[in-house]
A and B are shown apart, each in its own frame.
Chain A
Amino acid sequence: MKMMSVLKTFLTVVGLVFVVGLRAAGIGDYYSIENIAMPKGLDAQVGGLDTMPDGRLVACFHRGEVYTYQPKTGEWKLFADGLQEPLGIRAISDREVVVMQRPELTRIIDENGDGVADRYQTIHDGFGMTGNYHEFAFGPARDAKGNFYVGLNLASNGASIRPELRGEFRHYGLDREGFKSKSYKGPAGRMYAATPYRGWVLKISLDGNMTPFAPGFRSPNGLGVDLQDRLFVTDNQGDWLGTSKLFHVQQGRFYGHPASLTWSGDWKKGRNPLKVAAGEFDAMRTRAAVLFPQGFMANSPTQPLPDSTKGRFGPFAGQLLVGEMNRSRIVRVMLDEVAGELQGACVPFYDAAGLTRGSHRFVFGSDGSLWVGQTHLSWVGGEGVQRIRWNGKTPMDVQSMKLIPGGFQITFTKRLAKSTHVPDQFKFKRYYYEYRQGYGSPQNGTEAIKVAGSKRLGDEKTMMVYLDKMNPGYIYQLDLKGVEAEDGSAVVNPLICYTLNRLTNGDDKAPHLVRK
């Protein structure tokens, strides 16, 4: 009997430790989240979020409203209305915002200073519209020089085009009559660009000068400029995208979805990209800096936002946060410049812990808190606005992951436990997603990769890990379950996926990405 009692006590203690241990691995122990009360009667699906210089938040919503929010008083005030599916907003001053809505980039101005907009000035509406529902217009991101970048969705063959269009019509497979036929879907292509600059990122100055910046996008929902003034764009898994992606976008490059090439000067008029071998496009394209594996990392990534808080939001200053529609998650990206190009890793940052699904738009407040706005449209997601604050405690997580010859240099936010044993606790595998016309791609070539050796650096936070196979064109997935900090805290987000496009010597040959 006595023995049983001791055993029971022992089990209880073990159980407690176990529970505490689990709780310690939650992001909610390091960050708090607040739900912001929204105006009653508003469909609070957030299309865009920014802060004004005076500290007010400004948000645009699904049914065309723009509201300002005074964080000090919790008051929302209607600033503008009547917009068509606005999907991004940038405050220019306390009285002016620039909004990307379906038909145009618009500057909205409160001229008399009463807090309500009077003037809606079209900055640029020179792109086409077929009336197809999938022709969303995203952005604007803004660079240090004040230029705006917007992303124009392709049309979906889930619907045809409308009788009246805006802009020139051009399609490689169908004429306008053909689009009226019941069998338009096949020849249209799953995603199509029947009017100008669909599938492009455009650069637009405040006074309306437009530069077609880069083609190759499918559904570029997220546009953001990082602290080094580099433009990043997310795109969604589908045809030509084996999995969702984050691109570092540079002028004149092609990012992989060929429908947009219809509107490129280099593309022969009438040439049908649906009938061109993938290898030709593969040779033209710039691969994504970071791939988000479908199903467990991100299915529909949204806005990339650099952590500009200089440490007031935790240990990841300067890194990109990226929203994800399908689950209660914000992803974090750790970029790595290798042989002159950006590639890098993604890792969940904020999971569950009160976060609504559908995190779509983000902005940091001047106090270093993160404002998050959600949406869903007809897909998975949520609605409303939330505010996330760091509580000053450092989570045990991977701070950076950099490619080195033969392996990776992995730095943690805290000193590693003395007992850390890399061959057992750093589990690597690799796989790839095909570049192909079909919708998505399965994981191919999955194999476990053995750790060949490791070395801990003197800071006790950094581990050099050498692997027995390092080749370009793979995602290297690292599972750190069981790794602990010196203080006993477990790694909060143990799953990290590094997109290895090229080796340190510049070798980026990856013929396996295109099926012969």
Chain B
Amino acid sequence: MCVALGLLCFAGSSALGQATPLRVTINAKAGLQYDVVRFEAKPASKVELKLVNNDDMAHNLVLTKPGQRETVANAALALGTEGDAKNWVPDLDSVLFSTPVLKPDSSHVLRFITPKLPGVYPYVCTFPGHGLLMYGAMYVGVPMPPLEKDGNVPEAARQGKTEARQFHAWGEKRPLMYRIFMPEASPAAIAVALKHGQNYCWDAGQCRLRYAWYGGFVDPWPVWRGNGHGLAKVLGTKYWESDVPGSIKIGDSEAEPKFLGYRKVDGQPEFHYRVNGVDVYELITPLHSVIGIQRSFRIPNNTKPVVLPVGPTGRVAFEHSAGKLKDGLLALTAGEAASFTVSIGLIK
């Protein structure tokens, strides 16, 4: 259908055959971003748009009619199990052109004729959950406003954050963790960037997950620029924040948890702490098809019942592999708790 529309435009234009197409290359980057968040094109002109996927997860690019970005992204989500077969492109008139879903390190060239009607035509990654952050706009026959005032590009790009500052000798990498002063956490906080633009804050002072966000990681500069005064800034959208205080509870004791460190598993920390004399191991990994994280717990050598505060569970896609959930608390038997997972997904 998109192709048909393109052909229609082509057929209706006379001088197009000779014109050199406008060539645009857009890279999909880590942290759910396109590196080019906007470009200008003339009405009814040829465009060769090359999408290069430099990220470690799948992405596509869908051009929509003006104002239809969110509608299209939400309709893609609703495809559910049919999504993969359709490249996550919904059957809607508001979809103009689209690439297939590109695996990491692949590219695709989309050739099309821009619409005759001047306007701002959004493009968006409709892979589930990505559309919230990963989008841009094609300006057809209308001038672009200053970037910092452009409501058609993501907030991070408006703030000039697309070019991430290099803080280390290794450039950008995920997973990555910082022990650093964080907002809404104790001074012994840990910030972790996982793959797929997933991030979380875990509190080594209280041995518990504090919040999770998607998008960029943190700006450590407020802490690192000088003597450590300041807090790292979360560069993304927080979608879950613990509202049930306290660490995991083992048995009846109200004993304070004791942080014992972590082991790096594929670059991701598996936290180790001790509660009421029992060793607990917690590994947090990204979910794959949707925005979200999975918490994998191991509590070997335990004979006591376990209660894990997991709230809030209402506004996220919360899943647990074992136990009974009530009022933000997950209750497990010692057997269930030996190895279990809970996941927090953005999309309900």
Residues of A bordering B, CB below 8 Å: 39-43, 62-65, 76, 78, 81-85, 101-104, 106-107, 117-122, 125, 129-131, 133-136, 158-159, 162, 164-166, 377-379
Contacts and interface: CB of A to CB of B under 8 A. Distances in A.
Contact of B227 (A104, A125, A134, A164): A134
17 contacts: A39-B169, A40-B169, A78-B170, A84-B178, A84-B179, A102-B228, A120-B261, A120-B262, A120-B264, A122-B259, A125-B188, A125-B204, A129-B186, A133-B229, A164-B205, A378-B226, A379-B227
Interface in B187-231: 187-188, 190, 204-205, 220, 224-230
Contacts of B260: 121-122
B110 interface: no
Contacts of B263: 118-120
**Most chain-B Cβ atoms within 10 A of its Cβ — which of A120, A136, A159?**
A120
Contacts of B169: 39-42, 65, 76, 78
A164 B183 CA distance: 10
Contact of A42 (B168, B190, B225): B168
Nearest to A65: B168
Contacts of A43: 167, 224
B124 interface: no
Nearest to B220: A63
B334 interface: no
Contacts of A122: 259-261
A346 B220 CA distance: 40
B14 interface: no
Contact of B180 (A39, A84, A133): A84
Interface string B281-306: 00000000000000000000000000
B166 interface: yes
A197 to B, nearest CB: 15
A107 B225 CA distance: 27
Contact of A64 (B171, B178, B226, B269): B178
Contact of A83 (B179, B185, B229): B179
**Secondary structure class of chain A's binding surface, majority of residues:** loop
B177 interface: yes
Nearest to A84: B179
Nearest to A122: B261
A84 B262 CA distance: 15
Contacts of B187: 102-103, 129-131, 135, 162, 164-166
Contacts of B226: 377-378
**Secondary structure class of chain B's binding surface, majority of residues:** loop
A106 B204 CA distance: 13
A119 B178 contact: no
A103 B227 contact: no
A129 B205 contact: yes
A377 to B, nearest CB: 5
Contacts of A104: 188, 204, 259
A377 B177 CA distance: 21
A84 B204 CA distance: 12
Contacts of A42: 168-169
Contact of B261 (A64, A106, A159): A106
A502 to B, nearest CB: 37
Nearest to A123: B261
A103 B177 contact: no
A102 B229 contact: no
Given A81-B168, A119-B263, A131-B187, A103 B229 contact: no
B47 interface: no
Contacts of B168: 41-42, 63, 65, 81
B275 to A, nearest CB: 15
A119 B177 CA distance: 14
Interface of B: 166-171, 176-181, 185-188, 190, 204-205, 220, 224-230, 259-264, 269
A205 to B, nearest CB: 16
Nearest to A117: B264
A80 to B, nearest CB: 9
A134 B228 CA distance: 8
A83 B187 CA distance: 13
Contacts of B177: 81-82
Contacts of B180: 64, 84
A122 B187 CA distance: 16
Contact of B205 (A39, A65, A103, A379): A103
Nearest to A45: B224
Given A42-B169, A81-B168, A129 B188 contact: yes
A41 B170 contact: yes
Nearest to A103: B188
Given A118-B264, A120-B269, 6 more contacts: A63-B167, A65-B169, A117-B264, A120-B264, A129-B187, A377-B227
Contacts of A118: 263-264
A194 to B, nearest CB: 12
Contacts of A120: 261-264, 269
Contacts of B261: 106-107, 119-122
A55 to B, nearest CB: 22
Contacts of B230: 133
Contacts of A65: 168-169
The 8 A-B residue pairs with the shortest CB-CB distance, nearest first, are A378-B226, A133-B229, A84-B179, A131-B187, A129-B187, A39-B169, A41-B169, A166-B205
A121 to B, nearest CB: 4
A102 B259 CA distance: 15
B270 to A, nearest CB: 10
Nearest to A125: B259
**Most chain-A Cβ atoms within 10 A of its Cβ — which of B170, B178, B205, B230?**
B205
Contacts of A125: 188, 204, 259
Nearest to A131: B187
Nearest to A83: B179
Contacts of A76: 169
A159 B229 contact: yes
B281 to A, nearest CB: 12
A85 B167 CA distance: 14
A166 B188 contact: yes
Contacts of B179: 64, 82-84, 101-103
Contacts of A62: 224
Contacts of A119: 261-264
**Most chain-B Cβ atoms within 10 A of its Cβ — which of A76, A101, A103?**
A103
A104 B260 CA distance: 10
B171 A41 contact: yes
A168 to B, nearest CB: 11
Contacts of B188: 103-104, 125, 129, 166
